[in-house]
Structure 1
Amino acid sequence: MGTRKKSADRKAEIVAAMLTLVAEMGPGCATTQAVADRVGVTQAGVFRHFPAKKDLWIAVADWLIKEAQERWAKARNCEKSPLDGIKCVIEAQLEFIQHTPAVHSLIFSRELHAQNDELRRSFYSMSTDFHIMLTDLAKQAQVDGELSSDFAPHEIASVLLTLPSGLATRWSLSGRSFNLAKEGARLLEVMLYGMSKVH
């Protein structure tokens, strides 16, 4: 049996190595040579699967988006009420960032977005999907009397979106010194209390 890996397996390995390098050193240090060294192939071996580096970045984004959407869908299916649904999907996103720190670095890399507009649009689409899901849950929570109707559902969703991004930034700057998911769940309760119909 040959030792050469199947193309799909090698691609997945390269994407995983890219994510690890981004998490460890940031997008700027995730060079194709660094990826090749991490995987144990030549740089030409990387380009055999991804003709240009932008193709590798798109593959990384595709994996992240697919993983995020699967986590959101699973979390939403666990909801007992719309408010529980909000808690579940926000906590799922926080757990995703904690488990895959590269996602935060890539979403907020202006340099990378300027170099690869397709990548920027992919992440914007992911953010939009998350906002739509939260808006729908907020609307349902208002109908059920769990959240105040003083705010538009899309405004509630926009405020909720700031929690994962803002807290992930503080988590990153702290050297990932605290449990992101647990701290996020605590702060989410504070936010939702402020939006609740009855205090």
Structure 2
Amino acid sequence: MVAAVVELARERGPEGITTQAIADRVGVTNGALFRHFPDKLAMWSAVFDWVEERLEAVVDDAFRGGGDPIEVLERVFLAHVRFVSGHPGVPRILFHELQRPADSEFRDRVRKAVRGYRKRIGELLAQAKRAGLLPATLDEEAAAVLFIGTVQGLAVQSTLFRGEAGMNAAARRLFPLLLDGFRGPHR
């Protein structure tokens, strides 16, 4: 069911996803969906669970790959972009849900996930500073925000231009620029 929602989000946008469309894609009745999920919000929650689990696994694998902190940082960046380019409906769903004006459980969960990811990237940047690979003056928190923002920027542009296929190549070109920014003028 989750894969169907992600595919539909890419094709129609989240606002165009009805429970009937999900049921049709999965090959069940609309009523069958509601035997598994009490409401549409529970379906969106299942989608977020799936995204969170898959993205965390991809990022964890990249962290475990070994090497110096800069190599790990690049691997994490490229793995994150690969995940987004392979599941282009995911950013559409997240952006759609985050546009709602009121705080929600979904927004809280996204905040918590991003906060944890930002912390992990900040710790990796701190390791790179201690190893002398990045300047001691680097603001790890700001650099982590920029790191994540660069991935998000690629996701937004791919959504605008239907350019998921080019995201990975763009990420390989952008990472050295990002790293140069982290290193600053005192190399």
TM-score calculated relative to the size of structure 1: 0.87
CA contact (8 A) 1:54 1:116 kept: no
Alpha-carbon offset, residue 156 of structure 1: 1.1
Change (3 A) 1:111 1:135: closer
Is structure 2 residue 16 aligned with structure 1 residue 33?
no
Change (3 A) 1:168 1:128: same
Structure 2: where are the runs of 5+ without partners? none
Structure 2 residue corresponding to 1:51, chosen from 20, 38, 57: 38
Single out whichever of 111-120 and 136-145 deviates more from structure 2: 111-120
RMSD (CA atoms): 1.8
Per-residue Cα deviation, 1:40-87 (whole angstroms, up to 9, x for no partner): 111101111111000000000000000010001000111301111111
Change (3 A) 1:58 1:142: same
Structure 1: where are the runs of 5+ without partners? 1-13
**Number of positions where the alignment pairs a residue of Structure 1 with one of Structure 2:** 186
Percent of counterpart pairs with the same letter?
A: 28
**Which runs of structure 2 are paired with 1:21-170 in the superposition (5 Å)?**
21-110=8-97, 113-114=100-101, 117-170=104-157
Name the counterpart of 1:172. 159
| Structure 2 Cα separation of the partners of residues 109 and 79 of structure 1 | 36
Alpha-carbon offset, residue 112 of structure 1: 6.2
SS in 1 for 2:163: coil
Structure showing greater relative contact order (alpha-carbon pairs closer than 8 Å, 6 or more residues apart): 2
TM-score calculated relative to the size of structure 2: 0.92
Per-residue Cα deviation, 1:114-150 (whole angstroms, up to 9, x for no partner): 5781122222222112101110000000111111222
Runs of 4+ aligned residues of structure 1 deviating over 4 Å after TM superposition are 110-116
Q: Which amino acid aligns with 2:122?
A: T
